[in-house]
Amino acid sequence: MRRYTALLAALLPLAAAAGPSEDAAARKKIEADRADTMRWLRSDPTSYLAAVKRVSFGDKAELVVGSDPACDLVLPGLEPRHLRVTAGADGFAVRALDAGAFFTVGKGTAPVREAGGGPTRLSAGRFHLRLSHQGYPAVIVFDPKSPRFKEYKGIPYFPIDLSRRVRARLVPDPKAETVALASSNSGDRRAQRVGWLEFTLGKTALRLAAHRLLEPGSGDDDVSVFFRDATTGKESYMVGRYVEPEKQGDGSYILDFNMAYNPACAYSGFYNCPIPPKENQLPVAVRAGERDPHYQH
C-alpha cells in the first residue's frame, strides 16, 4: 500500500501539469477516433458488420475456397476452385488454383496468384478474406453486401473525461511469465505478461497486467491491456474492454480510457477475442470509452 501511495503522489503533478493545448489536442484525437470508428463500422467492407462467415481449419492443414459446392469455403462469383489457403505454424501460404483465378493482398496491389506470410487480408471477387491465426487458424469472410449493415446503430460512448487519461508506470514481470488467456471462439491463447501498469484514477491507486500475445501477427513491442471494471455487464460490454497503452519517451505509458474499446466479439460472433484475466478486474467504475453497443444481445 505504501508503494501505491508514493505512486499517487508522483502522478498527481503529472496530471496537473497538462496544459490547455495538450488537453485540446487529446480531446481532438479522441473525437476524431470516434468519428472514424463509426464511419468504418457503418460502411467499410472490412467492418465488423461486413463479417458473414468464419471457417476454422480444425484438424485440416489447408482450406480450398471457390464456388464449387465441394470446397471447404463456398463463395459465389469465384472460380470453382479459386484458391487454397495453407496454415503453418507462423502464418499462411495462399495459391490460386484455377487458371482464371487471382487475388489481391492488402490495398492497392496488383492481382497475384501466390502469396505467403503472416496473418493478412486478401480479396477475391467481391469478398475480403481475413486470415486469422491466433494459434487457431481460421478464415473470416467479409461481404460488402452484408445484410448486417442494416443493423448499424452507431457506437455509444461515455462522455470524454480527460481525468481518465492517466500516466502509468510499468513494473516488469521478472519472470516474463507465459500465461493462458481465455478466448471467445477458441481454446486458451498464449500470452506473455510483460508486467503491471500502475496508475491512479481519482484518488484510487490501481494496476493492470499488460500482455503481449504470443502468436503470429503480434510484434515484439505490442502491448495490450484487457480489463473489466464496475461498469462491465451493466453500462459496458459484458466480456470487458481493451485499451492500448501509449509508451512515452521517458519509459512511462499513457493509459487513455477515453480510447477504451469493445472487443470485436461485441459486434460479431465471427471473431476470436481475448477475455480479460481475473487480475484485471478493476474495483472502480471506468466511465470512459465505448459503452455496450448491444449488437450481440
> 155-168: per-residue pLDDT in tens?
999 999 999 999 99
pLDDT at 144 over 90: yes
Average pLDDT score over residue span 193-205? 96
- Whether the per-residue pLDDT at 14 is higher than 50: the answer is no
Name the residue type at position 262: N
Question: Bigger pLDDT: 254 or 15?
Answer: 254
Where are the domains positioned within the chain?
A: 2-44+153-280, 48-143
Amino acid sitting at position 109 = T
pLDDT one-digit tens code per residue, 269-284 = 999 999 999 999 999 9
Give 119's pLDDT tier (boundaries 50, 70, 90): confident
> Is 149 in contact with 280 (CB distance < 8 Å)?
no
DSSP 8-state symbol, 238: S
pLDDT at 194 over 70: yes
pLDDT of residue 297: 66
What's the confidence (pLDDT) of residue 8? 33
Strands 83-87 and 253-256, by their bridges, are unpaired
Confidence of residue 18 (pLDDT cuts 50, 70, 90): low
The answer to whether residue 23 scores a pLDDT higher than 70 is yes
* Mean pLDDT value across residues 28-57: 97
Q: What is the mean pLDDT of the chain?
A: 91
Domain 48-143 has CATH 3.40.50.2300: no
Q: What is the mean pLDDT of residues 275-294?
A: 98
- What is the average pLDDT across 193-220? 93
Give the residue with greater pLDDT, 149 vs 133: 149
**Could you give the CA distance from residue 244 to residue 226 in angstroms, rounded to a whole number?**
9
DSSP 139-202: EEEE-TT-GGGGG-----BPPP-GGGEEEEEEEE-TT--EEEE-BSSSS-EEEEEEEEEEEEET
pTM above 0.75, yes or no: yes
Q: By three-state DSSP, how is residue 213 classified?
A: strand
Q: What is the pLDDT of residue 68?
A: 98
